[in-house]
């Protein structure tokens, strides 16, 4: 993908001279990167108005959700998740890390979102809604003022059945798109990478979705899906590597969190910083969320991305300004991680560029850490998330230690974004828990020696 004058191997060596942290990354060492361009004045290609437009579309579809997904009835068809104060987890983190966490720690539990139980219920489902709305308006006399519950009728199901939706995914994006698209009646195909969990593939098939399995990375699954969709003018491809609509679907979280913080008496500012720890795979969902938060609350939001040491694709892309033009394999990394949703070797085409002045920094973690945090969260708060969704906890200690204005941390709010977990089968969750419990014991034994 890189199109500069030097061969990639020579380019990488040159980049390592320019950005010494790449050397640590090349050796799979956890790193903390502070973005030197954070808060620089930049003209963004998207605006607050785009966030409000996406929010309005979600609201139009609320009656449809109530009818098609009864679990959304309690929230009148609005897809939202709780913001939970986790004092016991905060105390456990302080004990395990041997360091105080000034301020309060919250969990943004997108793991509890309706339909797919993950953050992808925002972006993935949003893009399905936008396509369904376009098809309905093209094929019928649907207007923006209609009650969209009619889209769940047999008449519209028949219309949608003549169209297809296709996507490439490591798991949760495919799950959200597959379940939403199938509910409308679209012919739905999900290309799944080698990292995808079997239970996610099984659940999709149970919902009438065609699953194509790839013995390769998500980049290959996406490329194959894109090529297959291009052969059929009636098939719409949702592109995780460069979709503006996915990005905007995630951004609506900014409106939701602004209200939740206000209800708690929290108003982000330079004096009361809000740190948001977001797991990053291709980078679309954490970037969309960060963008939405900063469009609604332009001061005091500090987004921190967290990535596996084996797949730091967004950090690499942003640090070098090469974005999607460089992959972790170019640095000699194997791209392997047990955090399936983060196993993306090349970052989004748009996310990093939009985040250039919005991202505070990033942190990389060892896979063992996320299992420990997953177990700690169950033990302290009785909250279950999947491994990649516990990644945000790994960045709190170093972010606090390196913050430029330590005197303001007493007023800090730390939001760990739990990106998925509700639909994980109980036997799978037990395996995650047992692994984390074993790793916790090993850690305690090594400390006591």
pLDDT of residue 290 exceeding 90: yes
For 293-335, strand residue ranges (E) read 301-308
165 and 134 assigned to the same domain: yes
Give Cα separations from 247 to 62, 157, 231, 298, 307 (angstroms).
20, 27, 25, 18, 19
Interval 372-382 mean pLDDT: 98
272 and 414 assigned to the same domain: yes
Would residue 14 count as lying in a domain?
yes
279 and 398 assigned to the same domain: yes
Domain boundary among 193, 226, 242: 242
109 and 122 assigned to the same domain: no
Confidence band for 445, pLDDT divided at 50, 70 and 90: confident
What residues pair up with 118 in beta bridges, in sequence order? 420
292 and 432 assigned to the same domain: yes
> What is the separation, in whole angstroms, between the first and last Cα of the chain?
48
pLDDT of residue 2 exceeding 70: no
> What number of helices (H) and strands (E) belong to the chain?
18, 11
pLDDT of residue 407 exceeding 60: yes
For 226-356, strand residue ranges (E) read 235-238, 274-279, 301-308
How many domains are there within the chain? 2
Would residue 132 count as lying in a domain?
yes
Q: Are 197 and 340 in contact (CB under 8 A)?
A: yes
pLDDT of residue 446 exceeding 70: yes
Would residue 58 count as lying in a domain?
no
Q: What is the pLDDT of residues 39-78, one digit of tens each?
A: 998 888 899 999 999 999 999 999 999 999 999 999 999 9
Would residue 54 count as lying in a domain?
no
pLDDT in the model for residue 79: 96
Interval 17-39 mean pLDDT: 96
* Torsion angle in degrees (nearest 10) through CA of 253, 256, 258, 261: -120
pLDDT in the model for residue 242: 85
> How far is residue 139's CA from residue 413's CA, in Å, rounded to a whole number?
48
Would residue 51 count as lying in a domain?
no
Could you tell me the CATH number of the domain that includes residue 352? 3.40.50.1100
82 and 128 assigned to the same domain: no
Mean pLDDT value across the chain: 94
42 and 92 assigned to the same domain: yes
Domain boundary among 214, 242, 270: 242
199 and 251 assigned to the same domain: no
Percentage of the chain lying above the pLDDT 90 cut? 86
296 and 314 assigned to the same domain: yes
> How far is residue 342's CA from residue 349's CA, in Å, rounded to a whole number?
16
Containing structural domain, residue 182: 117-242
319 and 382 assigned to the same domain: yes
Confidence band for 234, pLDDT divided at 50, 70 and 90: very high
Would residue 57 count as lying in a domain?
no
- Sort residue 342 into left (φ over 0), alpha (ψ -120 to 50) or beta: alpha
Q: In terms of Cα–Cα distance, which of 385, 444, 445 is closest to 418? A: 385
Question: Would you list the DSSP string of 380-438?
Answer: HH-----GGGGGGGGGHHHHHHH-S-GGGGGG-EEEEEE-B-TTS-HHHHHHHHHHHHH
Would residue 52 count as lying in a domain?
no
Six-digit token string for 443: 């850690």
Interval 406-417 mean pLDDT: 97
pLDDT in the model for residue 3: 47
pTM: 0.95
Domain boundary among 196, 219, 242: 242
Interval 172-189 mean pLDDT: 95
The residue that leads in pLDDT, 424 or 340, is 424
Angle between helices 172-184 and 198-206 (to 10 degrees): 0
100 and 184 assigned to the same domain: no
Would residue 2 count as lying in a domain?
no
Q: Among the listed ranges 129-143, 296-310, 331-345, 390-404, which one has the minimum average pLDDT value?
A: 331-345
237 and 154 assigned to the same domain: yes
Q: Are 246 and 131 in contact (CB under 8 A)?
A: no
Q: In terms of Cα–Cα distance, which of 317, 370, 371 is closest to 348? A: 317
Q: Among the listed ranges 11-25, 148-162, 285-299, which one has the minimum average pLDDT value?
A: 11-25
């Amino acid at each position: 993908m890189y199109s500069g004058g030097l061969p990639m191997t020579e380019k990488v060596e040159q980049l390592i001279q320019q950005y010494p942290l790449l050397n640590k990354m090349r050796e799979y060492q956890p790193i903390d990167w502070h973005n030197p361009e954070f808060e620089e004045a930049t003209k963004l290609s998207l605006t607050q108005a785009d966030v409000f437009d996406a929010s309005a579309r979600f609201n139009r579809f609320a009656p449809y959700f109530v009818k098609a997904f009864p679990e959304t009835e309690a929230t009148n068809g609005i897809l939202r998740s709780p913001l939970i104060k986790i004092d016991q987890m905060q105390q456990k983190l302080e004990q395990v890390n041997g360091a105080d966490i000034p301020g309060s720690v919250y969990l943004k539990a997108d793991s509890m979102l309706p339909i797919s139980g993950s953050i992808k219920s925002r972006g993935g489902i949003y893009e399905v809604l936008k396509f369904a709305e376009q098809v309905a308006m093209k094929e019928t006399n649907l207007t923006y003022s209609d009650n969209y519950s009619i889209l769940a009728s047999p008449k519209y199901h028949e219309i949608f059945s003549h169209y297809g939706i296709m996507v490439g995914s490591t798991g949760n994006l495919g799950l959200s798109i597959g379940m939403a698209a199938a509910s409308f009646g679209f012919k739905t195909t999900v290309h799944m990478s080698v990292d995808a969990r079997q239970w996610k593939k099984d659940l999709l098939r149970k919902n009438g979705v065609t699953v194509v399995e790839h013995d390769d990375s998500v980049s290959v699954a996406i490329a194959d899906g894109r090529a297959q969709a291009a052969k059929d003018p009636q098939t719409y491809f949702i592109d995780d590597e460069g979709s503006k609509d996915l990005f905007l679907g995630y951004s609506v979280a900014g409106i939701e969190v602004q209200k939740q913080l206000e209800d708690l008496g929290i108003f982000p500012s330079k004096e009361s910083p809000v740190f948001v720890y977001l797991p990053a795979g291709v980078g679309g969902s954490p970037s969309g969320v960060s963008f939405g938060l900063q469009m609604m609350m332009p001061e005091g939001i500090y987004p921190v991305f967290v990535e596996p040491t084996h797949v730091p694709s967004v950090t690499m892309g942003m640090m070098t300004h090469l974005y999607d033009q460089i992959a972790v394999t170019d640095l000699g990394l194997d791209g392997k991680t047990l955090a399936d949703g983060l196993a993306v070797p090349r970052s989004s085409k748009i996310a990093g560029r939009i985040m250039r002045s919005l991202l505070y920094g990033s942190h990389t973690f060892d896979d063992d850490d996320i299992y420990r945090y997953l177990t700690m969260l169950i033990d302290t708060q009785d909250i279950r998330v999947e491994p990649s969704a516990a990644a945000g906890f790994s960045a709190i200690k170093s972010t606090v230690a390196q913050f430029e204005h330590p005197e303001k941390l007493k007023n800090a709010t730390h939001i760990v974004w739990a990106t998925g977990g509700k639909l994980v089968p109980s036997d799978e969750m037990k395996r995650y828990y047992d692994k984390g419990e074993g790793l916790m014991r090993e850690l305690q034994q090594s400390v006591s020696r």
